[in-house]
Amino acid sequence: VRLLTVGGSDGGISAALRALEVDPGVEVTVMLADAYPNFSVCGIPYYLSGDVADWRDLAHRSGSDLEALGIHLVTDTTARSIDVDGHHVIADGPTGEWQVPYDKLVIATGAVPVRPPIAGLDRYGPADGVHLLHTIGDAHAVMATITDRAVSAAVIIGAGYIGLEMAEALTARGIAVTQLEQLPQVLPTLDPQLGQIVADELDAHGVEVHTATRVTSVEVDGGRLVVRAARTDDPAPLQWSVDLVMVVTGVTPDGHLAASAGADVTPRGAIRVDRCMRTNLPDVYAAGDCVITHHILLGESYLPLGTTAHKQGRIAGENATGGHRQFAGSAGTQAVKVFDLVAARTGLRDHEATAAGYQPITVAATADDHKAYYPGAQTIHLRTTGDRGTGRLLGVQMVGAIATAVHKRIDTAATALFAHLDVDQLNDLDLSYTPPLGSPWDALQAAVQPWVLQASTPAWSAATPTSPTPSAR
């Protein structure tokens, strides 16, 4: 069997590695548009901050590791079209156009960063200090700007998780950062109350944050970049003069190669796959940021995450070599470190649950990460969402200091979602306890107890959600 993957990042490499595990006799070729197979793009902010000194260390495996495992790598080669009946891909590479035959094909072309409609953005690029951030090549370009232009001030457009990671990274380099977000809060994937805690953390570390602020233009003037913006509720012009502009406003799925071959795609361009990661084209699978994702609570969703791309790629690789495994689904679990804080979520927020037809209640709580008498106890802010009718857990959000292990507590909640637990059943979980690290009721359990109380209260008398004072802590 000849397996070809188009894409050499999380999705494509995971497919290739799994195919070889299942059938060491399979001939695996991985084609990728750039020269960086199997790199952790998630680590780019930590290279740009200086935490990771050498960009090569971001490789999960080196090219020679992959070749030693039996993968034939074709780098700097872009697939232009797929001849589905002829079972070959037509590609442009360093030696011109060529045809690459396959028996099974995995498309893992990922996503492309969004370029918002801001005047001037289409005229400027890395040479001017204007950057997108999606690939290792982009990371090199940002590093070149930082060193060549002796950057002292930067504007980051977007305050999603990559924008926040970059605010921390550039601050660590001594660069004054202004962060502009058109929505009313930073980290809009969390509830505003938690977003505000993250905004305060940015502020405490010197990042100038402007929410509800829409960038209108970027232009080069006198060797510097001038960014103009206005608040969404006030047309008065705002302006910054900086050396670097970073645009991190989300991604859109790159499904056009598959679509042009006849694959079914969503209106947004994500390739439709079944849970075996099969497209509607014979012998063609797809995985990662280019596909729609099965969500355990929503059914169909689009969740461009590295964790998901790895799992889906592995399933595509297994099934392309004769397997029958299904993708179990995502809960949208994610965490981000912002200076000394971690913000995390899994499942649905209140408005998302309502839109999906649930009857959600969301209850806020605070709890210490460990017993207050042991030094260093810190507060975790939690929000629990569950369905009033069924009691089913729908989602949890948390913000706390790094030492409060918010990222692992969210994983307990994610596990509960996978197990279809009711909110109340979280209290039954046998979680660990020792005073320096926890409490008899873990912070997650302390947060769900007021949810259970409120859900059992008739709606007409439901009080405003308050922090819990759980008994027996």
Ligand X SMILES: Cc1cc2nc3c(=O)[nH]c(=O)nc-3n(C[C@H](O)[C@H](O)[C@H](O)COP(=O)(O)OP(=O)(O)OC[C@H]3O[C@@H](n4cnc5c(N)ncnc54)[C@H](O)[C@@H]3O)c2cc1C
Nearer to ligand X, 160 or 470 (CB): 160
Q: Of 3, 11, 157, 329, which lies in the binding site for ligand X, with binding defined by CB under 6 A?
A: 11
Determine contact, residues 145/131, Cβ cutoff 8 Å.
Answer: yes
Helix, strand, coil share of the chain (percent; to 5) = 30, 30, 40
Closest CA to 338 of 161, 212, 178: 161
Q: Under the criterion CB under 6 A, does residue 252 sit at the interface with ligand X?
A: no
**Smallest distance from ligand X to CB 110, Å:** 2
The size of the interface with ligand X (CB under 6 A), counted in residues, is 33
The Cα angle at residue 17 between residues 83 and 30, in degrees rounded to 5: 35
**Smallest distance from ligand X to CB 134, Å:** 5
* Of 4-12, 234-242, 406-414, 448-456: span binding ligand X (CB under 6 A): 4-12
Q: Under the criterion CB under 6 A, does residue 289 sit at the interface with ligand X?
A: yes
* Of 15-23, 152-160, 300-308, 321-329: span binding ligand X (CB under 6 A): 300-308
Q: Of 3, 4, 6, 426, which lies in the binding site for ligand X, with binding defined by CB under 6 A?
A: 6
Q: Of 110, 195, 395, 470, which lies in the binding site for ligand X, with binding defined by CB under 6 A?
A: 110
State how far the Cα of 391 lies from the Cα of 384, in Å rounded to an integer: 12
Strands (E), 146-304: 153-157, 176-180, 208-210, 213-221, 224-231, 234-242, 244-247, 251-253, 284-286, 293-295, 299-301
Q: Under the criterion CB under 6 A, does residue 249 sit at the interface with ligand X?
A: no
Nearer to ligand X, 29 or 185 (CB): 29
Q: Which two tokens stand for residue 184?
A: 């009313």
Determine contact, residues 450/466, Cβ cutoff 8 Å.
Answer: yes
Q: Under the criterion CB under 6 A, does residue 93 sit at the interface with ligand X?
A: no
Q: How many other CB atoms are found less than 10 A from the CB of residue 187?
A: 26
Which distant-in-sequence residues (6+ apart) come within 8 Å of 224 by Cβ? 241, 242, 243
- The DSSP output letter for 25 is T
* Of 39-47, 61-69, 170-178, 348-356: span binding ligand X (CB under 6 A): 39-47
Q: Of 26, 162, 164, 421, which lies in the binding site for ligand X, with binding defined by CB under 6 A?
A: 162
State how far the Cα of 13 lies from the Cα of 198, in Å rounded to an integer: 34
Q: How many other CB atoms are found less than 10 A from the CB of residue 355?
A: 12
Q: Is 205 exposed, middle or buried (0-12, 13-18, 19+ CB in 10 A)?
A: middle
Q: Under the criterion CB under 6 A, does residue 317 sit at the interface with ligand X?
A: no
The Cα angle at residue 293 between residues 287 and 297, in degrees rounded to 5: 155
Nearer to ligand X, 111 or 229 (CB): 111
Q: Of 100, 133, 413, 417, which lies in the binding site for ligand X, with binding defined by CB under 6 A?
A: 133
Residue 182 DSSP SS3: coil
Q: Of 134, 314, 345, 349, which lies in the binding site for ligand X, with binding defined by CB under 6 A?
A: 134
Q: Which two tokens stand for residue 437?
A: 């690290």
**Smallest distance from ligand X to CB 9, Å:** 3
**Smallest distance from ligand X to CB 282, Å:** 20
Q: Under the criterion CB under 6 A, does residue 7 sit at the interface with ligand X?
A: yes
Q: Of 3, 16, 28, 33, which lies in the binding site for ligand X, with binding defined by CB under 6 A?
A: 33
**Smallest distance from ligand X to CB 364, Å:** 26
Q: Under the criterion CB under 6 A, does residue 181 sit at the interface with ligand X?
A: no
Nearer to ligand X, 42 or 401 (CB): 42
What's the farthest any 2 CA atoms get from each other in the chain? 73
Beta bridge partners of 295: 299, 330
Q: Of 10, 128, 181, 368, which lies in the binding site for ligand X, with binding defined by CB under 6 A?
A: 10
Q: Under the criterion CB under 6 A, does residue 160 sit at the interface with ligand X?
A: no
Q: Of 49, 78, 189, 379, which lies in the binding site for ligand X, with binding defined by CB under 6 A?
A: 78
Q: Under the criterion CB under 6 A, does residue 34 sit at the interface with ligand X?
A: yes
Q: Which two tokens stand for residue 169?
A: 């990274």
Q: Under the criterion CB under 6 A, does residue 448 sit at the interface with ligand X?
A: no
Q: Under the criterion CB under 6 A, does residue 79 sit at the interface with ligand X?
A: yes
* Of 33-41, 352-360, 398-406, 435-443: span binding ligand X (CB under 6 A): 33-41
Give the number of residues written for the chain. 473
Q: Under the criterion CB under 6 A, does residue 44 sit at the interface with ligand X?
A: yes
Q: Under the criterion CB under 6 A, does residue 32 sit at the interface with ligand X?
A: yes
Determine contact, residues 188/345, Cβ cutoff 8 Å.
Answer: no
Q: Under the criterion CB under 6 A, does residue 306 sit at the interface with ligand X?
A: yes
Q: Under the criterion CB under 6 A, does residue 109 sit at the interface with ligand X?
A: yes
> For residue 48, what is the enclosing H or E element?
helix 44-49
**Smallest distance from ligand X to CB 232, Å:** 26
State how far the Cα of 317 lies from the Cα of 294, in Å rounded to an integer: 18
Q: Of 108, 164, 320, 455, which lies in the binding site for ligand X, with binding defined by CB under 6 A?
A: 108
State how far the Cα of 68 lies from the Cα of 154, in Å rounded to an integer: 42
Binding residues for ligand X (CB under 6 A): 6-12, 31-34, 41-42, 44-45, 78-79, 108-111, 133-134, 162, 254, 257, 288-289, 304-307, 309
